Amino acid sequence: MRRTRNVKIVATLGPASDTYDMIKALFTAGADVFRLNMSHGSHDEIREKHRIIRQIEEESGGSICILADLQGPKLRVGVFASEDGEMLEEGARFRMDLDTAEGDATRVCLPHPEIFAALEPGSSLLVNDGKIRLKVDECGPDFANCTVIAGGVISNRKGVNVPDVVLPLAALSNKDRKDLEFVCELGVDWLALSFVQRAEDVLEASDLANGRAAILSKIEKPAAVKNFEEILKVSDGIMVARGDLGVELPVQNVPPIQKRLVRKCRSAAKPVIVATQMMESMIDSPVPTRAEVSDVATAIYEGADAVMLSAESAAGSYPIEAVTTMNNVATEVERDPTYTQIIEASRESKGATIADGIVSAAREIAETTNIKAICCFSQSGTTAALVARERPRVPIIAMTSVARTARQLTLYWGTNCVIVEPLDRFKMAVVQSARAATRQGYAEKDDMIVVTAGVPFNVPGSTNILRVAPCDERLIFNSDPE
């Protein structure tokens, strides 16, 4: 299904969107990527959602991307004697320890010795999405005595964030390892890795995936922001997960961080998703707030590859309306001349490789002449990623004989993926491009397109040829032999 926008929409599936009819409706409304949240649902339920998506993909004749989001280690307090929890007053003393006895107004179990091993006096502990803030006064291998800085009700199994230190925790829990193997065998396209703190976390997941899925690192920890350059190098993509990031950092820090990360991802030709609370009010309302619309628009103006819906589409009362609204906002933003000005002003000059030069030339030719589309052949996805980085004004048609590559590329800005038969001659690549451009409605027979490819074929990263070609196959065959 051809979209009229370049930015992609990620829709999370859940109880409100787990049937064929609802998933089909979300796809029709504008969802390009479906997120399977491994924090919720059994493997059988995940398998059924995957089956439905692939059925809709086959019926549509296009490519649909599936993103499996691993849960990551969850840090939570224990339970309290009172079912309603306890009220912590500002200035009060409160202790966290390894004692499994039920908690009260003075203490509670924190069953994570690795946290105590990393804490230092002055460290902060945030409970229940940062609503309760504790400052560590003294600590040891099995306890932390704290002062309540911001009070509130603390109750059973509320989440804990530790923003000040790098925790000696692996990004992959035992559950994550089992889930990773399951979804890779199932055939998902991307793996979102939670709790990333360092590049080594990404490399571990990449080794386990072993090429079966691309790795997308979620930036939700201060340590990940600090180590972002190294994390980006070893990741296939990035998610700016503003939920925990806004808990562990001052909220005013999140917007500039988002802008920097989006720009760095684009420079590296790696896709970036902006996520969390984009249209939160649409969980219960058929229309978003004006501020939420502005938030989505800002991410699009920044050049993000994709914007994401979480609970809005997974558990809300208006999942179709949420996707439709996001689609409408994206379409309207991209019509704005200011959008084009911002995107082009933020384009960085790249010329380190022949491939960089080829895709830059393709974009410039397309924008300065009457070219209707840029068609790129890409077995690994590298060439299409480089073209997407250029953010051209004309459509990008990414052509590949590898279904997994087509699905993964669906996450990239502006890419329209077409699966073709394997090729061994560049002339046939031009012919296939002309056919795809006309059949998909991007061009007519008397129009021109730009074609890029690597010769010899099927060698990743070998982009070395560019041709301006007609869409009329007779003219192609009557031209030079190759």
Q: What is the pLDDT of residues 3-34, one digit of tens each?
A: 989 999 999 999 999 999 999 999 999 999 99
Is position 35 annotated as part of the catalytic site? yes
Q: What pLDDT, in 10s, does the model give residues 331-378?
A: 999 999 999 999 999 988 666 788 899 999 999 999 999 999 999 998
Per-residue pLDDT of the chain (482 residues; tens, 9 = 90+): 689 899 999 999 999 999 999 999 999 999 999 999 999 989 999 999 999 999 999 999 999 999 999 999 889 999 999 989 999 999 999 999 999 999 999 999 999 999 999 999 999 999 998 999 999 999 999 999 999 999 999 999 999 999 988 888 888 999 999 999 999 999 999 999 999 999 999 999 999 999 999 999 999 999 999 999 999 999 999 999 998 899 999 999 999 999 999 999 999 999 999 999 999 999 999 999 999 999 999 999 999 999 999 999 999 999 999 999 999 999 999 999 999 999 999 988 666 788 899 999 999 999 999 999 999 998 889 999 999 999 999 999 999 999 999 999 999 999 999 999 888 788 888 999 999 999 999 999 999 999 998 887 777 767 889 999 999 877 776 665 45
Is position 76 annotated as part of the catalytic site? yes
User: From edge to edge, which strands make up the β-sheet containing 132-140?
Assistant: 107-109, 93-97, 143-150, 132-140, 124-127, 160-161
pLDDT at 441: 92
Is position 298 annotated as part of the catalytic site? no
Catalytic residue among 218, 242, 372, 391: 218
Cβ atoms 145, 122 nearer than 8 A? no
Catalytic residue among 107, 133, 158, 276: 276
Is position 178 annotated as part of the catalytic site? no
pLDDT at 481: 47
pLDDT at 351: 64
Catalytic residue among 5, 35, 242, 389: 35
Interior/surface letters 295-325, b for 16+ CB within 10 angstroms, e for the rest: bbbbbbbbbbbbbbbbbbbbbbebbbbbbbb
Domains of the chain, earliest start first? 8-72+171-333 (3.20.20.60), 86-161 (2.40.33.10), 354-477 (3.40.1380.20)
